[in-house]
Amino acid sequence: MKRTQQPVPPAYIQEEGYLYIDTEATEPVGSPRKVFGATHLPYLVVCWSSTDRSYYVFSARTIDPKTRKPKWDDQDLLSLQRLMHDHHTLVFHNARYDVRVLANLLPLTTQRIFSLWAVEDTLLLSHLYNSSEPHGLKALGEKYVHIDTSDESDLQEATIASRRQAKRLGLPVSYAIPLDYWMPDWFQSVQNGSPQTDSKNSSSSFRPWEQGLAVTYCLLDVCRTVALHTFYSQAILDPVWNLYAARELPILPLSIQMEDAGVSIRPTTLLSSIRQLKNIRQEHLDVMQQIAPGVNPNSSVQVRKLLYDYYGLSPFGWTKKGEPSTTEADLQSLLASKPRSRNARKFIKALLSYRHVDKALAYLLDYQSAVSPDTGRIHPSFNPVGTRTTRFSSSSPNMQNVKKEADGVVPFPLRQVFGPSQGHYWLCCDYNQIELRIAAHFSQEPVLVDAYAQGADVHQSLADELGISRDFAKTINYGIIYGMNPMRVVMSVPDVPDHLLQDPNLLRKRLPKLFGWIAKTIRQCELQGITTTLAGYPLRVPKDAPYKGVNYKVQGSAGDILKEAMIRCGSVIPNLGGRMIMTIHDELVFEFPTYVPKTKSARTVKHLMEEAALDLGVHVPAEVSYVPYRRAWSDKKPMRL
């Protein structure tokens, strides 16, 4: 451990007891695929204390270049823990990552860290301050506290050179350059004659990362975090800061719990599904090869030459370079135009099906590669600031776009490859028409408010009144709250009834308060560039698209409700033996042991989720579905409670 009196950050919080932490880590060779950071081992931890205004540098003794595993002295780890215990609050930029990395280093679990210390995160604060901009630490530091980013470019350049040297020596390199940021200082220490490859002979007093590029980079990241934390504490108003403390920070440990729990997969079904799609893809490929031997369907250039040069078809769209387009939408239009050439029609149809199947197959292969050999489960990432609203995003893999249903090309829903593990069942609890109910709440439109109060089907009510199908009515309802022009909504649906085209103001007459609220919201976004959710979360709206403010307000409010539900469920469901494993848009998915009566767990979850919505002033029924063991996620059955 090294204590240093580096220059104090350009702005810093005055209160004592805050410890700002940044870590640099590597990933050992052969690490199983898990949530980003779950297998990363730190070689450098830099802290800044608001109590004595000093930096503390903790570094590994060395890293074995063959295994990429850092080696630490026990005394240094003990000193780091003591320093942490001397403070009441730990501050990070992206706490979900750094807390995981610290838990990999210290005899502490991630949940233990959250229970022992208050944890703050400037990444969450950056989203609260400006939801529309990138939230990377370097860019924020340069924009708001004027710390340039040359340290990163210098380190990246040196790391790229070191990776080349490592490859020449037959040493493994990581899939990501930042996980090799230790290499430049390591190679420099070797060139200076410091013993690094033999851990038994290594000097315990020498630390290659206590000086050099990596520590400079890490020190500046801590400096950025301190300065940004102070900046946001002064720039963000008290009501929004209270929202950050009450709703956004409690989400951090819950999202980590979900990621650690993972999602169980049905391996036999996955393998058979992959084989089936490969066979279907080959069938479409065979059709194309019979028509146009040698044409690669994955090459837009070859497809363009075949369709537009050989067959002489007229394009429906153009690329930015002025070439005829081969996108799905343009090929669909081309097919709908019924080209004279029968072979051209067959090729386009086979190509569209091939692409569709190939995309579904790519998803399945991604799920297969994401299975952790340690747990046999997939551990996707759930990011609470991954969208421009308050909703979660999902990645590695994305569980929010797993197909619910089969279609005309892929004969099964992709959700069939997921399902409860042995001895468990799933509960899927989904808010019913949450976005329309939020719009009804904000606008107080009597047609919607009364319909929901009476338990009526809002879509069917509109369908009956206008003499259209329920699906058409549903498209209209959601198109309106997504900010689309009423006539554009109507025209987006095929076979539009004549009476709707003859009276373009028909929808406005039927829903005057809803359209009045929409106009008011758009006007506010034009003037202020911002809208707020039910909970008061500020969301920035693009200046050139103020109409998006309506959608942001609705989607963001739905995110408020879901986060409140997660917090309530997170404190109760573990006591029943269950755990939260996914958040899918307006839905939460839970896993329970089979010994927990499903009626009891379902009623508890339903009550907690509906209570969360009521707490924010909206009545939104929660519908619960049940997935028993040995069944697939796609087979979930509604429960009547």
Q: How confident is the model at residue 17 (pLDDT cuts 50, 70, 90)?
A: very high
Tokens 């909970």 sit on residue = 535
Per-chain mean pLDDT for the chain = 91
DSSP 539: E
Phi-psi region of 10 (alpha: psi -120 to 50; beta: other; left: phi over 0): alpha
DSSP alpha helices (H): ranges in 494-588? 498-502, 506-510, 512-528, 548-572
- What's the domain count of the chain? 4
pLDDT at 201: 44
Angle at 112 between CA 106 and CA 118, to 5 degrees: 105
Among 531, 555, 579, where does a domain finish?
555
* Bridge-based pairing state of the strands 62-64 and 69-71: antiparallel
Average pLDDT over residues 525-543: 96
User: Within a domain: residue 241?
Assistant: no
Please give the residue range of the domain that contains residue 462: 435-555
Distance CA(220)–CA(507), nearest Å, equals: 56
Residues 147 and 177 reside in one and the same domain: yes
Structure-model confidence comparison of residues 556 and 34, the more confident one? 556
Provide the percentage of residues in the chain whose pLDDT is more than 70. Answer: 93
User: Within a domain: residue 120?
Assistant: yes
Provide the percentage of residues in the chain whose pLDDT is more than 90. Answer: 76
Question: Where residue 546 sits, what CATH number does that domain have?
Answer: 1.10.150.20
Structure-model confidence comparison of residues 473 and 388, the more confident one? 388
Residues 577 and 632 reside in one and the same domain: yes
Query: Quick one: which H or E segment has residue 532?
Result: strand 530-532
Residues 331 and 321 reside in one and the same domain: yes
User: Within a domain: residue 248?
Assistant: no
Tell me which of 181-195, 280-294, 484-498, 536-550 is least confident. Answer: 484-498
Residues 613 and 574 reside in one and the same domain: yes
Residues 326 and 457 reside in one and the same domain: no
Distance CA(516)–CA(259), nearest Å, equals: 42
**Residue 25 C-alpha from the chain's centroid:** 22
User: Within a domain: residue 223?
Assistant: yes
pLDDT at 205: 44
Question: Where residue 347 sits, what CATH number does that domain have?
Answer: 1.20.1060.10
What residues contact residue 388 under an 8 Å CB cut-off, 6+ apart?
131, 132, 539, 540, 552
Average pLDDT over residues 111-135: 97
Question: Where residue 388 sits, what CATH number does that domain have?
Answer: 3.30.70.370
User: Within a domain: residue 574?
Assistant: yes
Angle at 503 between CA 499 and CA 509, to 5 degrees: 115
Residues 31 and 98 reside in one and the same domain: yes
Q: Residue 146 corresponds to which tokens in the numbers above?
A: 């004027």
User: Within a domain: residue 548?
Assistant: yes
Angle at 398 between CA 380 and CA 638, to 5 degrees: 90
Residues 451 and 429 reside in one and the same domain: no
What residues contact residue 505 under an 8 Å CB cut-off, 6+ apart?
486
pLDDT at 504: 67
Residues 542 and 563 reside in one and the same domain: no
Query: Quick one: which H or E segment has residue 121?
Result: strand 118-121
Average pLDDT over residues 603-619: 94
Residues 566 and 595 reside in one and the same domain: yes
Contact 239, 227 (CB under 8 A): no
Structure-model confidence comparison of residues 189 and 261, the more confident one? 261
Distance CA(56)–CA(42), nearest Å, equals: 15
Average pLDDT over residues 109-134: 97
pLDDT tens column, 60-91: 988 999 999 999 999 999 999 999 999 999 99
Distance CA(537)–CA(293), nearest Å, equals: 57
pLDDT tens column, 562-582: 999 999 999 999 999 999 999
User: Within a domain: residue 220?
Assistant: yes
Residues 103 and 223 reside in one and the same domain: yes
Structure-model confidence comparison of residues 462 and 80, the more confident one? 80
pLDDT at 3: 64
Q: How confident is the model at residue 2 (pLDDT cuts 50, 70, 90)?
A: low
Average pLDDT over residues 444-453: 89
pLDDT at 200: 45
pLDDT at 498: 74
Peptide bond into 397 cis (omega under 30): yes
Distance CA(76)–CA(47), nearest Å, equals: 13
Among 370, 387, 404, where does a domain finish?
370
pLDDT at 1: 63
Tell me which of 194-208, 299-313, 342-356 is least confident. Answer: 194-208
pLDDT at 14: 62
Structure-model confidence comparison of residues 470 and 607, the more confident one? 607
Q: Is the pLDDT of residue 93 over 90?
A: yes
User: Within a domain: residue 255?
Assistant: no
Q: Is the pLDDT of residue 35 over 90?
A: no
pLDDT tens column, 173-231: 999 999 999 999 999 888 776 544 444 444 334 466 667 899 999 999 999 999 999 99
pLDDT at 203: 39
Residues 20 and 98 reside in one and the same domain: yes
pLDDT at 191: 77
Residues 149 and 282 reside in one and the same domain: no
C-alpha distances in Å from residue 19, one per residue of 78, 225, 283, 328, 438: 16, 11, 60, 52, 40
Q: Which amino acid is at 514?
A: L
Among 493, 523, 555, where does a domain finish?
555
Average pLDDT over residues 443-470: 86
pLDDT tens column, 329-342: 999 999 999 999 99
Q: Is the pLDDT of residue 553 over 90?
A: yes
